[in-house]
Amino acid sequence: MVRHDQHGTSNLHLLLGQTLTFTGDPFHTGPQDAVRHETQGAVAIDEGRIVAVGPADNLKTTYPDAPLTDHGEALLSPGFVDAHAHYPQTAIIASWGKRLIDWLGHYTFPEEARFADPAHAGTIARRYFDLTLAAGTTTAVSFATIHPESVDAYFNEARARGLRALAGKTCMDQNAPHALSDTAASAYDDSKRLLEKWHGIDRLGYVITPRFAPTSSREQLEALGALWAEHPEVLMQTHLSEQHEEIAWVAELFPEARDYTDVYDRFGLLGEGALMGHAIHLSPRERDRLKEAGASLVHCPTSNTFIGSGLFDMEGLAKAGHRIGLATDIGGGSSFSMLRTMAAAYEVAQLRGMALHPAQLWWLATAGSARALRLGQTIGTLAPGYEADIIAVDLASTPAIAQRSARAETLWEALFPTIMMGDDRAIAAVYVGGNRV
């Protein structure tokens, strides 16, 4: 149904290009069965939402007066969804030579301490959204710093751009520098106030954010578990089982817990809507418990190779039916681009003996991540009713990619070189809520 504003003119417009719609989860159906592809397709957008997707000729007939934007042979896709990032680490991406614990102490904490200055937070939030939008990411879930102002900076910037965006105040009350430490009570109070201030405003979502078990006391984990119980409508994000040294540290700090997963479980921080970053070195018991609890696992492959963390078991976890998202983990991750992130996911899976299909990679970066965020009916799919966060992807954006995709006989063969070799040059256009940015 075409809606009209009070002057009787429709705001509806059409984007033309190849279209790709996932109709199912390509890890469970065959990759080919989960997809609808139109070589000459169109997407109709009205009032920030997708109202129709189909063959261009059909949509032009249905909406004869609608203005057209022709993206030629570019692929129209949902914008990418980055399920785990640290926007405050934008300026320390690609910092050399450390593993997780030393990397945090050496590079991350000093930079995060600078976010006590709201002007710095504002500068970096602007830079972060400039970089991620250029890379085709239209929704990110970010950790902020312990400073409430760092949450305000992120949400103010996202709101000004009309983005669907999620974030939360990072909470740490032990094993962190004094300047980056809160308390159990202040973490609860600040998180609650920020949640009430921002959650559900325009397209913004608050996320309860204990950094990870080593930097939260039992009292803080308990307080944040209580806050989540009071607000089950928000997500909870943290880190889980990224490096062996970290896991051994957690075992020392929480000897009463069965394992790392159990630390969160004991404090009500495991359940549907929990985003567990990394989740690499899991015992069979932890896998079963995470599955039973309905938590989402977030794979951060460029980070896992860059910091030397390990190889996520995509095959085993996807087969077992875990909800899995894909993420950059900026700035432990080494790229703002979800294309590069898909490439790294492919490489990590190859090192474990699995070849991820391009459909599975693209799904992870869009609908899969959206589902992990409980936004699977809202963003991440090119279908009527979904929010119109759309990118046009040039499948011949560099000479090296163009010469390879020129030989392609299928969509997947045409897309895979861009997955493996593409960057922000492949992102020809970005629409946020139906508006080109």
CB of 6 to Fe ion, least distance (A): 47
* Shorter beta-carbon distance to ligand GUN: residue 31 or 88: 88
Q: Nearer Cβ to ligand GUN, position 36 or 127?
A: 127
- Find the binder of ligand GUN among 17, 63, 76, 86 (CB under 6 A): 86
- How far is residue 221's CA from residue 137's CA, in Å, rounded to a whole number? 31
**Cα 381 from chain centre:** 14
In angstroms, give the least distance from the CB of 76 to Fe ion: 30
Residue 335 interacts with ligand GUN (CB under 6 A)?
no
With CB cut-offs between 5 and 8 Å by kind, which of Fe ion, ligand GUN, none does residue 242 bind? Answer: ligand GUN
Q: Is 108 in the site for ligand GUN (CB under 6 A)?
A: yes
Closest CB to Fe ion among 88 and 277? 277
Q: How many CB atoms lie within 10 A of CB 126?
A: 16
> Taken in order 154, 155, 156, 158, is the CA torsion positive or negative?
positive
Identified binder of ligand GUN from the candidate list 212, 267, 312, 416, rule CB under 6 A: 212
Q: Residues 303, 335, 381, 397: which binds ligand GUN (CB under 6 A)?
A: 303
Shortest distance, CB of residue 270 to Fe ion, whole angstroms?
18
Give least dist CB 211 to ligand GUN, A.
Answer: 5
Among 182, 246, 329, 387, binds Fe ion (CB under 5 A): 329
DSSP 351-376: HTT----HHHHHHIIIIIHHHHTT-T
DSSP alpha helix (H) spans, 7-144: 56-62, 100-103, 109-113, 118-134
- Nearest distance, CB of residue 422 and ligand GUN, angstroms: 24
**Buried b / exposed e across 218-254, counting CB within 10 Å, b at 16+?**
bbbbbbbbebbeebeebbbbbbbbbbeebbebbeebb
Question: In degrees rounded to 5, what are phi and psi of residue 324?
Answer: -125, 135
Q: Which amino acid is at 308?
A: G
Q: What angle do CA 207, 226, 172 make, to 5 degrees?
A: 60
Q: Which residues of 257-279 are buried (b: 16+ CB within 10 A; e: fewer)?
A: bebbbbbbbbbbbbbebbbbbbb
Nearest approach, Cβ of residue 331 and ligand GUN (Å): 8
Residue 306 binds ligand GUN (CB under 6 A): no
- Regarding 18 and contact with ligand GUN (CB under 6 A), the answer is no
Residue (161 or 340) nearer to ligand GUN, CB: 340
Angle between helices 148-160 and 184-198 (to 10 degrees): 20
Structure tokens belonging to residue 122: 């504002």
Neighbours of 349 (CB within 10 A): 22
405 contact, one of ligand GUN, Fe ion, none, CB 5-8 Å limit per kind: none
Of 147, 192, 211, 299, the one binding ligand GUN (CB under 6 A) is 211
**Is 216 an interacting residue with respect to ligand GUN (CB under 6 A)?**
no
Q: Which of 242, 286, 313, 423 binds ligand GUN (CB under 6 A)?
A: 242
Q: Where are the beta strands (DSSP E) in 261-321?
A: 274-278, 296-299
Using the rule CB under 6 A, give the single segment among 100-108, 147-155, 196-204, 283-291 that binds ligand GUN: 100-108
Q: How far is the CB of 183 from Fe ion (least distance, A)?
A: 23
Q: With CB cut-offs between 5 and 8 Å by kind, which of Fe ion, ligand GUN, none does residue 128 bind?
A: none
120 — alpha (psi -120 to 50), left (phi > 0) or beta?
A: alpha
Task: State yes or no: residue 246 binds Fe ion (CB under 5 A).
Answer: no
Residue 107 identity: Y
Piece of 168-176, 230-238, 252-260, 269-277 that binds Fe ion (CB under 5 A): 269-277
Binding positions for ligand GUN, rule: CB under 6 A: 86, 100, 104, 108, 211-212, 239, 242, 303, 329, 332
Interface residues with Fe ion (CB under 5 A)? 277, 329
